[in-house]
Structure 1
Amino acid sequence: MEYVRLGATGLKVSRLALGCMSFGEPDRGNHQWTLGEAEARPLFRKALDAGINFLDTANVYSDGTSEEIVGRLIKEHGRRDEVVLATKVFGRMNASPNGTGLSRKAILSEVDNSLRRLGTDYIDLYQTHFWDNDTPIEETLEALNDVVRAGKVRYIGASNMYAWQFATAIQISKRKSWAAFASMQLHLNLIYREEEREMLPLCRAEGIGVMTFSPLARGILTKDSGTQSKRAETDNVTGRFYEKAAAADQTIVDEVAKIARERNLPRAQVALAWVLQTPGVTCPIIGATKSSHLEDAVGALEVKLTDEEVKRLQEPYVPHQVVGLM
C-alpha cells in the first residue's frame, strides 16, 4: 500500500479509501443493496489487512447504521489511532425543520450524534456533504471551526459543490483564520470528468486533497452493456448520473474492455488506474461489496497506463450535464 499526505496537511492516508456507504442495514435508509455487519466484517478486515487506513462514511448512509457498523468494526480492530475516519454532515436525519443542512444547530448536534454512533471521541475528517443554500456560509464555517477547536474533529473537508462555492469558502476561512479545508470529495471517473474543468485545478492550486467517489461509475465501467446487479436494479442514483449520455459513454466502456483484454487485467484495474494517474487525485473511494472488489482495487496500484492508453480512454469523452450538486 502507498501512503500520501492529504493535501497540504501532515495527515498520511492510503492511496485507496474504503467507502463505507456499502455497509449499513439494507432495511434502513435508501440503499437496499448494502451489507449488514456480519457481511461487512470480512471486507473491513481485508481492507485493513491490505493496508487501507482511510475510511469514509456519512451520517445519512443507511439512516445512521453505516456509522454504527463502522464504529463497531473499528472497536473490534482495537487500534482506533491507526485509521483515518471520515464522515459527513448535511443529510436529513429527522423530520424536524432543523433535521438537515449545515446550520450551526445542525452541525453541533450532528457531530455529537456521529461521535456516538461511531463510538469514538474524535473524527479525523468531518466533511460537508453538500452546499447548503439555506444557511449563510459564514455560519457553517464558524461552526466547523468550533468543532475543530473543541477537539471533536481533527480536519475538515467538503464534497459536492461548484468550484466557485468552494473558492468562496476557502477564502472566508483564510480571512477569518478559521480551520482550513483539507480535502474535497468529488465525482470523477472515465465517463464523468466535469470536475477536471474547475474543481481539480482549484484544489491543486490551494493544496487541497482530493477523494473521488464512483471511480468505476457504479460498476458501469466494469461490465458488459445490459449486465445488472442488485445495486443497479434498486439504486435510483445510477440512472440519474449516467443514463443521459449512455450512448456516448459506451465507446469509453468498450475501450476499457479492450485495454483490459490487451493487458490481461480486470476492467476495474484499468478504470481505477486512470483515476489514480489523474493529477491532483489523492485517492479513489472503493465501495466494495465483494472480496474481488478490494483485490482489484489493490491490484490497480501496480497498473501504469501508457500515454497512448490514456489517450484512447480519454479521446471519446463528450461533455456531460453536471450532476450530484445542489
Structure 2
Amino acid sequence: MRYRRLGHGPLEVSEISFGTWLTFGDWLQTSNSIRSVHAALDLGINLFDTANMYAAGRAEKVLGKALRTSGRSRNQYLIATKVFNPVGREKDRGLSAAQIAKQLDRSLQRLGTDYIDLYQCHRYDKDAPLEETLEALDRAVKAGKVRAIGLSEWPVEKIQLAAELTSAHAWTPMTSSQPQYSLLWRKPENAVFAACAEHGLGNIVYSPLAQGVLTGKYKPGEKPPKGSRAANNQKNQFMETNGRHFRSDFLLEAVAKLNPIAADLGITMIQLSLAWVLRRPEVSSAIVGASRPEQLAGSAVASGVVLPPDVLARIDAALGDVVLR
C-alpha cells in the first residue's frame, strides 16, 4: 500500500480507503463488517470513511467497535466522518455552530474515540452563514476533538470562498474534498480539482467503481448477480446519480470493452478503474466498500499501478460517449 499527503494538512492517507456507506449497520451482519475492517488494516488501509447519518448512526458504532477490537493503537488508523444530514428520526440538520457542536459530540460517542481525524461537511449548507460554520470547525480543532476538516460535494465557488475566509480569519483551513469521481463520472476535472490544488485540498473520491459497475459484474441484458448491490431493492436506488442509471445497457456495453484492456495489463477491471482515478495528483485516496473481507485484497493491489498513456487512450476510446464530464 502506498500513501499520500491529504492536501496541505497533517494526515497521510492510504491510496485506497475503506468506506461504510450502504455496507455498515443495515443489510450486513455486524460480525462481517468488523472482519472487513480488520482485513483492510491488514492490507495497509489506514483511512476509514463514514458519516453520522449512515444507517441512522449505526455505521459509526460498528466502525468504532471494529477499530477498537483490531489490536491497533489509535494512531495507526484515521477516522473520517461527516456532518450535515439529519440522523435517523432527527429533524435537525445543517452546519450551524450549534449543530456542529452537537453532532460532533454524538459522533465521538458512537465511534468511541476522543478525536476524529477528518471531520467533513457532508454538503454545503445554504441556510447557515459560512463564517459561522468555519469558525465552529476551527473551535473543534483547537479543542482537540478534530485534527483536520474537509467537505463533500461543495460547489467550486464555495470551496474557493471557504479558503479565502479561513485565510482571512486565520481559522483552520479545509484540507480535503470528497467528490464523486470515476471513469464514468469525470465532472470534478472541470473545476473542482483545480480549485482544490490551488487552495491545498486533497481529494478523497467516492464511487470510483461507479457503484460496482466498473467491476464488470453487471452484463447488458442480464439480471444482476445474486447478492449484488443492484439485486438488493433497498440499495438499487443508489445506482442512479443525477438522473443517470449506471446499469443502462448502452453503458454496460461500453464498460465491457474495458475487460480486454485490463487483461492485456494482467490486472482486473477493479484495479484498472482504481488506478485510473489515482493517476491524478489531486486525488489522495479512492474509497472502496466491501460486503465481504476477501473483496478488499483485489482493490488494495491497485495502489501503485501506473497506466501508460497508450492505455489511457484505449480507455477513452472504449468508453466514448458514455462518460459524463
Relative to the length of structure 1, the TM-score reads 0.90
Aligned to 1:6: 6
| Cα 1:248–1:140 shift into 2, 3 Å | farther
Aligned to 2:276: 274
Equivalence map 1:67-106=2 (5 Å): 67-78=60-71, 79-93=73-87, 95=89, 97=91, 99-106=92-99
Distance 1:116 1:289 in 2: 25
Aligned to 1:56: 49
Aligned to 2:210: 217
Aligned to 1:208: 201
1:135 paired residue among 116, 128, 139 = 128
2:297 paired residue among 269, 274, 295 = 295
CA deviation after TM superposition for structure 1 residue 248, in Å: 5.8
Report if aligned partners of 2:56, 2:88 keep a CA contact under 8 Å in 1.
no
Equivalence map 1:1-326=2 (5 Å): 1-26=1-26, 33=27, 35-78=28-71, 79-93=73-87, 95=89, 97=91, 99-222=92-215, 223=217, 224-225=219-220, 226-228=222-224, 229-232=227-230, 233-234=232-233, 235=235, 236-241=237-242, 242-243=244-245, 246=248, 249-250=251-252, 252-315=254-317, 316-317=320-321, 320=324
Distance 1:126 1:163 in 2: 19
Counterpart code for 1:5 = R
- Tell me the C-alpha RMSD between the 2 structures: 2.0
Distance 1:158 1:205 in 2: 16
**What is the identity percentage for the equivalent residue pairs of Structure 1 and Structure 2?**
35
Aligned to 1:29: none
CA deviation after TM superposition for structure 1 residue 22, in Å: 4.6
Counterpart code for 2:268 = P
Relative to the length of structure 2, the TM-score reads 0.90
Superimposed CA distance per residue, residues 115-159 of structure 1 (whole angstroms, 9 cap, x where no aligned partner): 000001110100000011211111111111111111111110000
SS at match of 2:110: helix
Counterpart code for 1:77 = S
Distance 1:96 1:86 in 2: 22
Distance 2:127 2:75 in 1: 36
Report if aligned partners of 1:124, 1:155 keep a CA contact under 8 Å in 2.
yes
Give structure 1 stretches of 5+ with no counterpart. Answer: 27-32, 322-326
Report if aligned partners of 2:156, 2:191 keep a CA contact under 8 Å in 1.
yes
Range that drifts further, 242-251 or 287-296: 242-251
SS at match of 1:38: helix
| Cα 1:302–1:124 shift into 2, 3 Å | closer
| Cα 1:317–1:183 shift into 2, 3 Å | farther
Counterpart code for 1:240 = T
CA deviation after TM superposition for structure 1 residue 283, in Å: 0.7
Report if aligned partners of 2:210, 2:246 keep a CA contact under 8 Å in 1.
no
| Cα 1:133–1:152 shift into 2, 3 Å | same
CA deviation after TM superposition for structure 1 residue 5, in Å: 1.2
Distance 1:117 1:244 in 2: 33
Number of equivalent positions: 313
Counterpart code for 1:7 = G
Give structure 2 stretches of 5+ with no counterpart. Answer: none
SS at match of 1:4: strand
CA deviation after TM superposition for structure 1 residue 220, in Å: 0.8
CA deviation after TM superposition for structure 1 residue 111, in Å: 0.1
